[in-house]
Structure 1
Amino acid sequence: MTDLEYMDQAEALLHAVEASCDRINEASDADIDNQRVGGMVTLTFPNGSQVIVNQQKPLHEVWMAAKAGGFHYRFDGGQWRDTKTGSEFFADLSRYASQQAGQALRFVAPA
């Protein structure tokens, strides 16, 4: 993957995270605050807990930090996959955000 391809895919992922937050907030009382600074999106839940998603350009990865731990994802040509378990980024984000929010949340990949 070239640097440009990585940036396109990583930007699409961050935009999808932001769009999912907007959709979730409109459809529920989750009240997720999402802030974007450069290549990082911070999701803050009403209980004060956070999930942070950021680009790691030199490694061509996206990292996620949640209460459940820290995770590294690499694009496999179709999806972002955890470098250790192979699990898919948006499934993991949905699971970890749901745990921290105390309600079911669904984040979706870009179309």
Structure 2
Amino acid sequence: MSTSLDTTSGLTDAQYDEAIRVALARIETTVDRWLEDDVIDIDSARTGSMITLSLPNRSQLIVNAQPPLHELWLAARRGGFHFRHDLATGRWLDTRTGEEFFSLLSSCASEQGNCPGLQF
């Protein structure tokens, strides 16, 4: 396990790996809960550190870890977004706007799934 410090994010590789693990687990747990509670029919497929969320209208949200950059990426109809983990707050923040990852993911899922109020 590497502990080298990445000067861009300020995280060690181990800290980044843990933050990614937690983020992806949160997504999977939320989707499972939505399916159990019959909130939305959404399919989640994970391949390594990438999760593809397929919504009822066949649109997709793709969340992907980018280890070399210590980033988390989101691809949605709105566009592509890059997030870095803020160690002080424990949140993933957009590198351009500062928007929080789970807030934006929730908005995109609500829009694309035509199901207002979805919250990761």
Class of the TM-score when normalised by the shorter of the 2 chains: over 0.9
Give the Cα separation in 2 of the matches to 1:81 and 1:92. Answer: 10
Structure of higher CA gyration radius: 2
Query: 23, 30, 34: which is aligned to 2:40?
Result: 30
- Give the structure 1 partner of residue 94 of structure 2: 82
Structure 2, unpaired ranges of 5+:
1-10
- Give the structure 2 partner of residue 62 of structure 1: 72
Runs of 4+ that moved beyond 6 A: none
Give the Cα separation in 1 of the matches to 2:38 and 2:98. Answer: 30
Give the Cα separation in 2 of the matches to 1:27 and 1:81. Answer: 29
Give the Cα separation in 2 of the matches to 1:32 and 1:86. Answer: 27
- Give the structure 1 partner of residue 6 of structure 2: none
Shift of 1:25: 1.6
- Give the structure 2 partner of residue 48 of structure 1: 58
TM-score scaled by structure 2? 0.87
Encode CA deviations 1:31-68: one digit per residue, 9 max, x unaligned: 10000000100000011000000000000000000001
Letter in 2 for 1:81: L
Shift of 1:106: 1.0
Query: Does structure 2 retain, via aligned residues, the 8 Å contact 1:63–1:73?
Result: yes
Q: What is the aligned-residue RMSD (CA, Å)?
A: 0.8
Q: Between the two proteins, what is the percent identity of the paired residues?
A: 50
Structure 1, unpaired ranges of 5+:
none
Question: 3-state SS of the aligned residue for 2:16?
Answer: helix
Aligned residues between the structures: 107
- Give the structure 2 partner of residue 106 of structure 1: 119
